[in-house]
Amino acid sequence: MSDDGNPRGSWFAVLCRLVSGLMWVGIFKGLGIMLPTFTEQFTTESWLIGWLMVLVSGSIYLTGVFAAPLESIFGTRAVIVASGFMVGGSVIAASFATSVVQLTVILALGFGPGISFAMILSKSLIGRCFKTNYATANGIGQIGSPLGLILMAPLVQLLLDTYGWRGAMLLLGGISLHLVVCGALLPQPLAEKQNQESYQQVPSCEETKSKLRGDNESSSRIQLLKAVLMTIKRSFGISVCLQKTFWIPTVIATSNRLLHTLWSVYYVDHILNKGFSAEDAIVFCIAAGLAKLTAKLLIGPLVDRGVLKLRTLMAILLTLCAITLLTDPWVNSYWLAIVNVAIYDFSNGGVSSLVDVYMRELIGPELLTCAFSWMELVAGIVISCSGFFPGLIHDQTGSYDLAFVMMGCVSTTALVVLVAESLLLKKKIGDFLKSEA
């Protein structure tokens, strides 16, 4: 299944992806469950608390651009181990925060970058290790997200009721330190090999100066600056952003991540506003997690075995996602709410798995780390700038219904982009066949 000669290392990469997803969704969903508590504790409005939590999620995406150069310098194993300490340490430190600003800053500087580096490096490593059955391996690695909903949502509620929000954060930080162990399990030779194959060594300033002096004694500082800028360009993989094929999956991934973030923050409060109890909200989150888990395990084999084409399956899932959000204002009964949220998270989780496969198909496995890094940066900018609007709409209207309809429109936009790319691809194939004939 893997092509790197080290199948054990390949599956440890899958394990790292699973645990990082578990910690991301579990802790972030825990923050969503604590949203009413934070509103009372810090005596502020819902939209401000929600936006600050979205900024924490935005930091996950915004800091991903540093994953590629860090991997090229230190190796995948070292970066993921350090990321585990950042995640666990920041959540533990956040339990001592005395204001919502302190809470946000601590998590944005520690939890966000730590999760970002672990997620990007583990999933790009999977993309390089698995030549065949990549969609299946990627899907298995992503089951951490639904497990976070299934396991962590009731656990966080239990910890919140038993120890308060500070005790809950302290214990969640201890659980997050398991990511350190997962990173340490990655064999060091595998990390070194991938770095040698994927990146060029970054020359030091002294080496650059020596080279320039050897070529021309009268080299100016402008030439030295150009050399440094070229080094930065190679290290960060900026050239990948100049490819048109990079932006198509990036738009789809950004919309999908935006929906996932907003849903994670505001869904529980939305359900409570509809008149459901906190216990009902936990049941709905578990149903969503089970649906997403099914999507992660089912969709990958469907694509790998050719049962459904990648673009066709993505179009179906984006359509289902849009329908569930657009019809959410009319979903007010218990069983309809369970069905609606299950379909939503099945489709959202399925798109999340397939968009990585889609990116590798358009970009290639060699540039995955850089592509994923810049894709996360774009998503972070969008999420950070728009994460406040569901809470603001709620504060103005007393309901989240309009906000969820607007989220459905976002999913529709991603569907339009996918259909446009599919039509262009068919046109190119048709033109090629005509030229061959």
Q: For residue 21, is it within any domain?
A: yes
CA pair distance 152, 160, nearest whole angstrom:
12
With the C-alpha atoms ordered 37, 38, 42, 43, is the resulting torsion angle positive or negative? negative
- Decide if 425 is inside a domain: yes
What CATH code is carried by the domain that includes residue 277?
A: 1.20.1250.20
Question: Does residue 276 fall inside a structural domain?
Answer: yes
- Our count of domains for the chain comes to 1
Residue 394 placed within a domain = yes
In a domain, 45, yes or no: yes
Residue 203 lies in a domain: no
217: in domain: no
Owning domain of residue 85? 7-197+231-431
| Domain membership flag for residue 213 | no
Question: Which 3-state string (H, E, C) describes 109-154?
Answer: HHHHHHHHHHHHHHHHHHHHHECCCHHHHHHHHCCHHHHHHHHHHH
Per-residue confidence of the chain (437 residues) as pLDDT tens digits?
444 445 566 788 888 888 888 888 788 778 877 877 887 887 777 667 777 777 787 788 788 788 888 888 888 888 999 999 999 999 999 889 888 888 888 998 999 899 989 988 888 888 887 777 788 888 888 888 888 777 887 888 888 889 988 999 999 999 999 899 888 888 764 444 444 444 444 445 555 455 545 555 545 667 666 665 566 556 666 777 778 888 889 999 999 988 988 887 788 888 888 889 888 888 898 888 889 889 888 888 888 888 888 889 999 999 999 999 999 999 989 999 999 999 999 999 899 889 888 888 888 777 777 888 888 888 888 887 887 788 788 888 888 889 999 999 998 999 998 888 877 766 665 554 555 55
Q: Is the pTM for the entire model greater than 0.75?
A: no
The two three-digit tokens of residue 207, written as one number? 């080496």
